[in-house]
Amino acid sequence: MISRVSFVFFARICAWFLGFLLLLCSVVLLFGISSTTELIFPKKLSVENIHQAQKILYEGTKTKPDDLAAITLSESDLNLAGNYLLNRYFQSAIRVDLVNRKVRCEVSIKLSNNQLVKYFNISFRLGSENDETLPQITKFKVGKLLLPAKFANWVIHFLIRYSFLNEYFILATTPIQRVEIGYKTLTIFYEANSQNKSTNAQSRELYRQKISEIIELHDAKFRLSLADLLKPIFALAYKRSILETAIEENRSAIFALNDYVNSLKEPEKPPFLYKRIDLAQHFIGAATLTASMNSQVANAIGEVKELSDARAGGSGFSFIDLAADKAGSRFGELAVFSPESAQRIQKLTSEIKDYRDFMPDPRDLPEHMSEREFKKVFISTQSPPYLKLAALIDARIAKIALYQNP
């Protein structure tokens, strides 16, 4: 009886608390709704602007993270990247100003054509009050309502963590050392080898030499399968490794493969997956990104690239390419997940028969979709039709023995 009463009491407390939160959120949202905005909504971004925005957003996710120590962004860079990012999901406008070592930001989202509830407006200020390495919210307003900075910080971090924004901000958790706000510039300092400290230049060169040997011995009458490279390279990694060095060896092997497969100069004998060179490039590129950073970043980059290809002048959105990105990302993730996982990947990859043992057949998936066709069918990368097809790809990858957790 006591436990039942306690449960009911606890349930009521939870209900009151949730009700209070909902009421608070409703009040905050009401304050943000307005019939006017001071911001000018941007015109449709040009292809050049889109490419520049993507470069800014993903500068820290190159396949060679040791090449990057810092990136400096101007006000125009921040405004371009911000408008590109938000307008992928909402019709919106953003204005960023760098003043007195603070980032001042105003955002307006168009809700409807109704004259009374037309826009949702927020503004905030970022800075370092006590010399923190990363800037914090020092001021936050929803419409005209000023909220406590600490509460705003908590809400923003919660929204980022549990929304589509997390894939863009996930890089800020480990590789960014500090952020400096200067006069009209913002500089992000990266730990140059934060994700690459356990690679070895000597072993990487050894795998490059092994690749050269494989290429030299390969019969030119036959296509070079990516499996023809992966199998002997990971057999060598398995032979060279002990448990403590397995992750380091796998990174070196993957990076050496990427040096060949995604070389600026087209390889003499490019490897194929399902008779396509681009799929091998996508697979190894995603594996390299994941081994350098993490799978969420690799998948986000692959997704954005396909969206870019869907625009005029591109090859079109390809779920086939996206499947290769996802499979490569999974391969790279397990190759460096733990010493045990690294050795397991070495052993199983050294025993593969062909590329179907690490890449599911994607040839029935849609590709060459223009931006108009993509939006007509899938609307966005957050829509149920898109997520259903992405889940289908994930399910196919999960069925492959190599990618199943022991």
| pLDDT score of 342 | 92
Span between the terminal Cα atoms of the chain, in Å: 45
In the chain, which stretches have pLDDT less than 70? 1-29, 43-70, 88-89, 129-131, 155-177, 190-199, 264, 293-316, 381, 406
Q: Are 361 and 324 in contact (CB under 8 A)?
A: no
Q: Which residues contact 52 (CB under 8 A, 6 or more apart)?
A: 77, 80
Q: Is residue 72 helix, strand or coil?
A: strand
Q: What pLDDT sits at residue 271? A: 92
pLDDT of residue 125: 85
Tokens linked to 258: 């990427």
Q: What is the DSSP-derived secondary structure letter of residue 60?
A: G
Predicted pLDDT at 253? 93
Sheet holding 185-190, edge to edge: 70-74, 185-190, 176-181
**What backbone phi and psi angles, to 5 degrees, belong to 312?**
-55, 135
Here the contacts of 192-201 (C-beta below 8 Å, separation 24 or greater) are: 192/65, 192/66, 192/68, 192/69, 193/65, 193/66, 194/65, 195/65, 195/292, 195/293, 196/65, 196/66, 196/251, 196/292, 198/247, 198/248, 198/251, 199/248, 199/251, 199/252, 199/255, 200/248, 200/252
Tokens matching residue 156: 């923003």
pLDDT digits (tens, 9 = 90+) for 191-202: 544 444 445 778
Taking alpha carbons only, the member of 211, 214, 250 closest to residue 234 is: 250
Tell me the HSE value of 175 on the side-chain side, using a 13 A CA sphere. Answer: 26
What Rg, from alpha-carbon coordinates, does the chain have? Answer: 24
Place of tokens 């796998």: 250
Question: Taking the domains of the chain in order of start, what are their residue ranges?
Answer: 47-190, 201-403
CA distance 62 to 71: 12
pLDDT at res. 198: 46
Nearest alpha-carbon partner for 269 in 211, 321, 208: 211
